[in-house]
A and B are shown apart, each in its own frame.
Chain A
């Protein structure tokens, strides 16, 4: 009895602080956002405690009052965010997978150094790094000058403020997020199994499809999710590299809170992002469950 009590106290001591922290700083704001998204914006910012579902109506199509009017642009921006985040996941996966494979087969010393290099960008401010991309991509930037210099193009190409620039920037920012989980599952890959597969007649491609891919699927799923979530809500990359042309949902939310001062609408937009992420997590859970049973 006293032993279990002590164990319980011990557990409380260990988990108490993080639990309280999460309750106050994670669930608290979430609940506030959820509540706000069903309120009416105050005239001078803040909220009036009057229930309203029109914040969602503005996004999804049933609001039709003078101030709260449905505009398909919000949904379009939301869909674009989903598309750009998905593209970011795809490109970082394509870049990271071979890199992780290659690095995992290096000698230990070089391997650690290579992993250090992958995480190196974390040491420099994100804003600085993104402005470096502006210098590269703008009409008079390195890329255009290079292309014109070797005669491939005669006029500068609009790289900056396009979907391309945003996906490029986000891929650049989130590659470590994709790389590390991928690496940890690829590193565990048993080379002997690849040999066994080839011994039993499989070509490299077949071995990849039937052995490598299934064995590293946890890393692919994990990396994709922790890349997708911040990419979906990101507003720094689109505001620097997308400008006003490539707005993402994160920019919209930022505007609602900081410029338009319409907190309820901003909250409703944020809840849309939350819902998308939750749906994704549920799908992932289903997928991995099924994977375990097979």
Chain B
């Protein structure tokens, strides 16, 4: 598949007002295939917005390059890059009404009035703001403003859309609706999306691939299921979803947990960390090799579709499990045993210090 966007070894440091140097991008390389939906996920301040700004041309890289459709963008000013952005803080033109905001890219491109009006109407319908053409920006709610920002960025039919937390101001229902809309738009228009979010669920449901960032570096880029089931390091495992991370000692063929339980692990001897997702643990005893954990239930949380259980064990401290809510609510304080199948377990070649 041809790569549509390519970021090669991007480096960027800021001089802070305090006089220090802050490395925002520390050698980031990322490829985006045509019409691919890639999400940047990472803690606040890890460089997501900075990365988007280097793609759109508002930050110049200290080193490295941004290539779009085979053309290096270093010398291309922002207004000539085939990229539009939905800004984290909207940046709507508050002296223009909604229609002029949405039609801005077309107005700049010199399209005729009727074409602009039609396109603006389509865009507003798409984001669920039909009939709001004449509203001024200050008369819109935060969520409505966010949708205007989205419509404005899409109206000019960019080849690549950068979205910086574009749904963060929406309530859950609207958010889900917009997630589906965005996904549909992206597929139908066949344009690439680089999407930034703090919401893991959003990242998992929408993305073709997720890039996990921390400290200005890419930790891992994988499709959501791979990333969730086989995180490459402790940071990714911990950042994405709930996890039980248990230290394991490897002897070349077997892994041994600190309570003496063993399972097959045909890999080089040393120390590693076993990842057990809460949903892989249960009361039912699986067939074949298994791991078991006995302890006292310390706390349970009910979330509607399942129960989350915190089990206090002697060897591992707290172990988390998620049990589907089908009547039997475990009692706090009871001693129980949880089991997990010991096949296809994922080991991380890293141990917590």
- Seen from chain A, the residues whose Cβ lies within 8 Å of a Cβ on chain B are 190, 192-193, 195-203, 206, 210-211, 214-215
- Do the beta carbons of A196 and B109 come within 8 Å of each other? no
Question: Does more than half of chain B's interface fall in helix, strand or loop, or is it mixed?
Answer: mixed
- Do the beta carbons of A198 and B79 come within 8 Å of each other? yes
- Do the beta carbons of A203 and B79 come within 8 Å of each other? yes
- Do the beta carbons of B89 and A202 come within 8 Å of each other? no
Q: Which residues of B contact A202 (CB under 8 A)?
A: 79, 104, 108
- Do the beta carbons of B58 and A195 come within 8 Å of each other? yes
- Do the beta carbons of B109 and A197 come within 8 Å of each other? no
Counting CB contacts under 8 A, is B195 at the interface?
no
Please name 10 pairs of A and B residues whose Cβ atoms are closer than 8 Å in the assembled complex, sorted by A: A193-B92, A196-B91, A196-B152, A197-B93, A199-B79, A201-B109, A201-B156, A202-B79, A203-B79, A210-B108
- Return the chain B residue nearest A213 by Cβ: B95
- Return the chain A residue nearest B82 by Cβ: A201
Q: Which residues of A contact B85 (CB under 8 A)?
A: 196, 199
**Given A193-B91, A202-B108, 18 new contacts (CB under 8 A):** A190-B91, A190-B94, A192-B87, A193-B92, A193-B94, A195-B58, A196-B87, A196-B92, A198-B79, A199-B56, A199-B153, A200-B104, A200-B152, A201-B80, A201-B109, A202-B104, A210-B104, A215-B95
- The interface centre, meaning the residue of B77, B80, B83, B96 with most chain A CB atoms within 10 A of its CB, is B96
Counting CB contacts under 8 A, is B146 at the interface?
no
- Do the beta carbons of B87 and A214 come within 8 Å of each other? no
Counting CB contacts under 8 A, is B227 at the interface?
no
- Seen from chain B, the residues whose Cβ lies within 8 Å of a Cβ on chain A are 56, 58, 77-80, 83-85, 87, 89, 91-96, 104-105, 107-109, 152-153, 156
CB-contact partner of A201 in B91, B95, B108, under 8 A: B108
In the bound complex, CA of A58 to CA of B89 (Å)? 62
In the bound complex, CA of A203 to CA of B84 (Å)? 14
- Do the beta carbons of B95 and A214 come within 8 Å of each other? yes
- Return the chain A residue nearest B155 by Cβ: A200
**Given known A195-B58, A195-B78, contact A200–B91 (CB-CB < 8 A):** no
B348 CB, nearest partner CB in chain A, Å: 40
CB-contact partner of A200 in B89, B94, B108, under 8 A: B108
- The interface centre, meaning the residue of B95, B96, B105, B152 with most chain A CB atoms within 10 A of its CB, is B95
B162 CB, nearest partner CB in chain A, Å: 9
- Return the chain A residue nearest B107 by Cβ: A210
- Do the beta carbons of A196 and B93 come within 8 Å of each other? yes
- The interface centre, meaning the residue of B91, B96, B107 with most chain A CB atoms within 10 A of its CB, is B91
- Return the chain A residue nearest B78 by Cβ: A198
B107 CB, nearest partner CB in chain A, Å: 8
Q: Which residues of B contact A201 (CB under 8 A)?
A: 79-80, 105, 108-109, 156
- Return the chain B residue nearest A294 by Cβ: B97
Q: Which residues of B contact A214 (CB under 8 A)?
A: 95-96
Q: Which residues of A contact B78 (CB under 8 A)?
A: 195, 198-199
In the bound complex, CA of A202 to CA of B105 (Å)? 8
In the bound complex, CA of A214 to CA of B95 (Å)? 7
B149 CB, nearest partner CB in chain A, Å: 8
- Do the beta carbons of A192 and B95 come within 8 Å of each other? no
**Given known A211-B93, A214-B95, contact A200–B105 (CB-CB < 8 A):** yes
Q: Which residues of A contact B58 (CB under 8 A)?
A: 195, 199
- Do the beta carbons of A197 and B95 come within 8 Å of each other? no
Q: Which residues of B contact A192 (CB under 8 A)?
A: 87, 89, 91
In the bound complex, CA of A210 to CA of B108 (Å)? 9
**Given known A200-B108, A200-B152, contact A195–B79 (CB-CB < 8 A):** no
A206 CB, nearest partner CB in chain B, Å: 6
In the bound complex, CA of A109 to CA of B320 (Å)? 53
A195 CB, nearest partner CB in chain B, Å: 6
